[in-house]
């Protein structure tokens, strides 16, 4: 099963006998600014217009726990996540399609969580809402309660020690912008740089100018060049486990299984005992 779906494919699926559950996970990383601009409000964006039938899911409250020593977006409480999914109509026997405002990070976080907790059929709308050419609605959806019960997989998740080990034994990809990887700038976390041994692989290089994923063959070639060859274990991290989920999605499109370090740099850099590498080389 492909991990992504085009807007035209989604339009067709929504008119079929078994239309997918739609999740709207619009979200933006918000940084404090001197201008005092209000943070992005995904719920308000959803209320202003969404793909018909789509239910809003709050990344910060339902796809993550509160920030703390485990990072800015640690794993959600599974009871909270499960209730949110069932409220949205998610059932184990019905396909799910997730979309966001176009960046793909938030939708990928929902995709990864659902896949990691056992849902067999989840896809992300390639290009997000901007790719959708159909009508929008403002009505509040009221889907029937779903039956999905999240059961975490024994694989696919890395902690800090596992990420450090994988950077030496396999390939650990850093999905952040190159300047953050190199330690030239760090707008959020206390220390700049990267996990020693990790390879720079910015998420934005997985998509074209329209925000849609590059063809699977091009993605596979990119990741192969970065060391993700057959037989090599692959992991990925970012700042807080959101854009890294998008990298994991790109790897899935390319046919490369990858584990996710959810705590990512926000957890790693909060511990002064953990080593930090700077510059362009993995070290």
* 267: enclosing H helix or E strand: helix 264-268
**Can you tell me whether residue 24 is helix, strand or coil?**
strand
Which residue in 148, 168, 172 sits closest to 158, CA to CA?
172
Distance, CA of 172 to CA of 165 (rounded, Å): 9
Which residue in 123, 144, 124, 105 sits closest to 244, CA to CA?
105
User: What angle, 0 to 180 degrees and rounded to 10, lies between the N-to-C axes of helices 105-116 and 243-253?
Assistant: 70
CA distances from 64 to 44, 46, 61 (A): 20, 19, 6
CB atoms closer than 10 angstroms to residue 77: 13
Distance, CA of 106 to CA of 139 (rounded, Å): 22
* Catalytic position from the list 238, 242, 248, 259: 238
**Can you tell me whether residue 222 is helix, strand or coil?**
helix
Distance, CA of 124 to CA of 224 (rounded, Å): 23
Decide if 140 is catalytic: no
190: left (phi over 0), alpha (psi -120 to 50) or beta: alpha
Distance, CA of 205 to CA of 222 (rounded, Å): 9
Backbone torsions φ then ψ of 88, nearest 5 degrees: -80, -5
Tell me which residues are annotated as active site: 238
């Amino acid at each position: 099963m492909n991990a992504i779906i085009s807007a035209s494919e989604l339009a067709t699926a929504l008119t079929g006998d078994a239309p997918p559950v739609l999740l709207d996970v619009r979200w933006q990383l918000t940084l404090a600014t001197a201008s005092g601009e209000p943070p992005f409000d995904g719920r308000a964006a959803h209320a202003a217009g969404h793909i018909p039938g789509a239910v809003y899911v709050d990344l910060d409250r339902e796809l993550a726990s509160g920030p703390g020593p485990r990072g800015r977006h640690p794993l959600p409480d599974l009871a909270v996540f499960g209730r949110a999914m069932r409220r949205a109509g998610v059932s184990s026997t019905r396909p799910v399609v997730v979309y966001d405002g176009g960046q793909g990070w938030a939708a990928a976080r929902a995709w990864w969580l659902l896949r990691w907790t056992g849902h067999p059929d989840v896809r992300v709308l390639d290009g997000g809402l901007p790719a959708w050419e159909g009508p929008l609605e403002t009505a509040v959806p009221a889907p029937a309660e779903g039956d999905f019960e999240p059961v975490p997989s024994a694989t696919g998740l890395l902690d800090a020690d596992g990420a450090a080990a994988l950077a030496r034994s396999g390939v650990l990809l850093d999905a952040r912008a190159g300047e953050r990887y190199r330690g030239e700038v760090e707008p959020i976390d206390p220390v700049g740089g990267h996990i020693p041994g990790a390879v720079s692989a910015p998420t934005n290089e997985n998509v074209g100018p329209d925000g849609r994923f590059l063809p699977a063959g091009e993605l596979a070639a990119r990741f192969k060049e970065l060391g993700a060859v057959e037989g090599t274990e692959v992991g990925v991290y970012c700042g807080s486990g959101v854009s890294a989920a998008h990298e994991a999605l790109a790897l899935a499109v390319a046919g490369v299984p990858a584990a996710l370090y959810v705590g990512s740099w926000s957890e790693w850099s909060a511990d002064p005992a953990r080593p930090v590498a700077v510059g362009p080389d993995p070290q």
